[in-house]
Amino acid sequence: MKLLSTNAFVIYIKKLNEADLLLSYITEDYGKITCFANNARKSKKRFLGKLEPAMLTNIKFYEKPGMTLDILYETDIIEDYKNVRKDIDIYLFLIKLAEISRVLCQERDNNKNIFYLIRAIYKGLNCIDAKTSLSNFSMSAILLKYEIYFISNLLKYTGIFPNFLTCTICSEENTNNRFYFSLKKGGVICESCANLKDNTIIKNLPLNFINLSNLMIESDLSIINKLVVKEELLRECSTFLEDFLSFHIGKKIKSFESL
């Protein structure tokens, strides 16, 4: 077996019995990996307090050819986002983003951009000053901006960001954002090509959503603090992205319904 090391974020934890755990990570060097952690719930030296979602850790794990699971050997904390765990709304939101990552990312499909996206989001969430932030925006509006930024960029990095520019059937340009949107086609469709009896057709995209989503994928995370958008529009955009993502993966992500 080969012992490997990388920086990683926990995105999923499952108890297997009284002592063992199954964990999924988004790593810096190997993409998403799934590890079996033997005796993790009892091993204070190797794992205690180091398997939380709201922290960046360096993990060492064994990779054995032919095995579907890696074996987690030990972990060390690199960055601990303590402030995230102090606010229940932010922490639950982080769990939501972790579930999106787990569902959308494929095993061993390494894309460093996804790792750095998650890191930027976690660091941003950890720096939210509730008193300062809420004087300008509600917490729900701030988290909606983070969600739109995260999902938009994750879709870009996984190669499934929606096509808003031209009709996906005839390639006519979407002038003035007047086309319908097809969940099935993954992009906009002109009026001539649209079959409005198709229940995967969205007749009206949220106002200004195309400009907003394009801005998100062309900017760094600092855009969130500068962007002044009505919460109603943010919520409509979030709903659209969640519907698009759910249709793409073929099921509704649990946290979309509960959070």
Q: How far apart are CA 171 and CA 149, in angstroms?
A: 27
Same domain, 67 and 111: no
Predicted confidence at residue 106, as pLDDT, reads 92
Same domain, 152 and 101: yes
Predicted confidence at residue 136, as pLDDT, reads 67
Same domain, 7 and 74: yes
Predicted confidence at residue 194, as pLDDT, reads 92
Q: Is the dihedral of CA 76, 81, 84, 90 positive or negative?
A: negative
Same domain, 13 and 117: no
> Among 23, 55, 80, where does a domain finish?
80
Q: Are 148 and 238 in contact, with CB atoms under 8 Å apart? A: yes
Domain that holds residue 75: 2-80
> Among 54, 80, 106, where does a domain finish?
80
As given in the structure block, the two tokens for residue 180 are: 């319908």
* Domain assignment of residue 178, yes or no: no
Predicted confidence at residue 205, as pLDDT, reads 82
Predicted confidence at residue 116, as pLDDT, reads 97
Same domain, 115 and 147: yes
Predicted confidence at residue 48, as pLDDT, reads 86
**The whole model's pTM is what?**
0.92
Predicted confidence at residue 141, as pLDDT, reads 93
Domain count, the chain: 2
**What is the residue type of 156?**
K
Same domain, 87 and 8: no
Predicted confidence at residue 182, as pLDDT, reads 95
Same domain, 9 and 75: yes
* Domain assignment of residue 165, yes or no: no
Instruction: Find the CATH number of the domain harbouring 22.
Output: 2.40.50.140
> Among 61, 80, 99, where does a domain finish?
80
Q: How many CB atoms lie within 10 A of CB 101?
A: 23
Predicted confidence at residue 33, as pLDDT, reads 96
Q: Which residues of the chain have pLDDT under 70?
A: 130-136, 258-259
Same domain, 86 and 54: no
